[in-house]
Structure 1
Amino acid sequence: MSSKLPKSTLVLLAFASVYLFWGSTYTAIHIAGEHLPVPVVSGARSLITAILILLICFVGKKSLRVPKGEAWKLVVVGLLFMSGNNMLLTWGEKMVPSGFASLIVSTMPIMIALMEMALPGGDALNKRGWAGTLLGTFGIVMLVWPSLHQGAELAGYSRPLLGVLVLLGAALSFGIGSVLSRRFHFKADTLVATGWQIGAAGVFNALIAVGSGSLHRMVWTWPGFGAVVYLSIFGSLFGLVAFTYLLQNVAVTKVATYAFVNPVIAVLLGVLFLHERLAKTEILGMAVVVCGVATVVLSRVNRTKREIVGMAGDAVE
Structure 2
Amino acid sequence: MKFNKTLFALAATVLLWATAFPAIRVALEGYGPAQLSFLRLAVASLALAAVAPALGVRRPERADLWRIALAGGAGMSAYQLLLNWGEVHVPAGTASLIVAAVPAMSAVLAACFLGERFTPARAGGTLVALAGAALVGVSGKESGYTAAAWAVLAAACSQAVYNLTIKPLLHRYTGLEVASYAMWAGTALLVPLAPSTVRAAFGAPAGTTAAVVFLGLLPSAAGFVIWGYAVARLSVTAATAALHLVPAVTLAVSYLWLGEQPRPVAVLGGLVTIAGLVLLNKPRAMGSRRLGRAAKRSVSRLTRRGGTTDVQP
Q: Please, which moves more after superposition, 18-27 or 283-292? A: 283-292
Partners of 2:171 and 2:163 lie apart in 1 by 12
Bigger mean CA deviation after superposition, 92-101 or 130-139: 130-139
Cα gap change, 1:193/1:185 in structure 2, threshold over 3 Å: closer, same or farther?
Answer: closer
- Most deviating of 63-72 and 179-188: 63-72
What does 1:240-251 correspond to in 2, within 5 Å?
Answer: 240-241=224-225
Cα-to-partner distance string for 1:128-178 (whole Å, 9 max, x where unaligned)? x45555665677789x69xx76x524xxxx323432332232111110001
Matched residue, 1:6? none
What is aligned with 2:111? 117
> Are the equivalent residues in 2 in contact too, given 1:53–1:191 (CA < 8 A)?
no
List per-residue Cα deviations over 1:25-84 (Å, max 9, x = no partner). 1101111112112222111111111211222134x2845423453333223212222101
CA distance in structure 2 between the aligned counterparts of 1:29 and 1:47, rounded to whole angstroms = 15
Verify: 1:96 aligned to 2:79, yes or no. Answer: no
- Structure 2 distance, partners of 1:95, 1:228, is 18
The residue type paired with residue 182 of structure 2 is: Q
Please show how residues 120-199 of structure 1 align to structure 2 within 5 Å. 120-127=114-121, 129-133=122-126, 151-153=140-142, 158-199=143-184
State whether structure 2 residue 234 is matched by structure 1 residue 234: no
TM-score by length of 2: 0.72
Query: Is 1:46–2:41 an aligned residue pair?
Result: yes
CA contact (8 A) 1:261 1:293 kept: no
Q: Could you tell me which amino acid in structure 2 is paired with residue 220 of structure 1?
A: A
Match of 1:4 in 2: none
Q: Deviations over 1:192-238 (max 9, x none)?
A: 4332221221222232343xx45434422222112112211222113
Cα distance in 1 between the residues matched to 2:154 and 2:256: 31
State the TM-score, normalized to the length of structure 1.
0.71
Deviations 1:233-277 (A, max 9, x none): 222113334567859x9769x94984x533211111134444556
Q: Which residue, out of 168, 191, 204, partners 1:206?
A: 191
1:78 aligns with 2:62: no
Task: Name the CA shift for 1:283/1:61 in 2 (closer, same or farther; >3 Å).
Answer: closer
Aligned residues of 1:93 and 1:163 also touching (Cα < 8 A): yes
Counterpart-to-counterpart distance in 2, 1:182 and 1:50: 21
For residues 292 and 160 of structure 1, the distance between their equivalents in structure 2, rounded to whole angstroms, comes to: 24
Partner of residue 209 from structure 2, selected from 201, 213, 225: 225
Matches of 1:255 and 1:30, distance apart in 2: 26
What's the C-alpha RMSD, in Å, of the aligned pairs? 4.1
Q: Give aligned pairs, total.
A: 290
| Cα distance change of structure 1 residues 242 and 68 upon mapping to structure 2, 3 Å threshold | farther
C-alpha distance in structure 2 between counterparts of 1:162 and 1:188, whole Å: 37
- Alignment match, 2:290: none
Rounded Cα–Cα distance in structure 2 between residues aligned with 1:57 and 1:251: 24
Q: Letter of the 1:267 partner, please give it.
A: L
2-structure distance, mates of 1:152, 1:40 = 28
Q: Does 1:216 align with 2:199?
A: yes
Question: In the superposition, relative to structure 1, how do residues 202 and 291 fare at CA in structure 2: closer, same or farther (>3 Å)?
Answer: same
Q: Distance in 1 between matches of 2:144 and 2:268?
A: 30
- Runs of 5+ consecutive residues of structure 1 not aligned to the other structure: 1-8, 303-307
> For the structure 1 residues 192 and 276, does the alpha-carbon distance in structure 2 shift closer, same or farther, using more than 3 Å as the test?
closer
Shift in CA distance, 140/300, structure 1 to aligned 2, threshold 3 Å: same
Whether the 8 Å contact between 2:104 and 2:280 is mirrored in structure 1 is no
- In structure 1, distance between residues paired with 2:149 and 2:260: 24
Output the CA distance in 2 between the equivalents of 1:48 and 1:279: 34
Q: In structure 1, give the amino acid aligned to 2:253.
A: L
Structure 2: state its 5+ residue gaps.
Answer: 287-295, 306-313
AA partner of residue 147 (structure 2) = L
Q: Give the drift of 1:286.
A: 7.3
| Residue range with higher mean Cα deviation, 283-292 or 79-88 | 283-292
In 2 relative to 1, CA 51–162 (structure 1 residues): closer, same or farther, beyond 3 Å? same
**Match of residue 19, structure 1, among 14, 18, 23:** 14
What is the aligned-residue identity percentage? 23
Is the deviation greater in 132-141 or in 170-179? 132-141
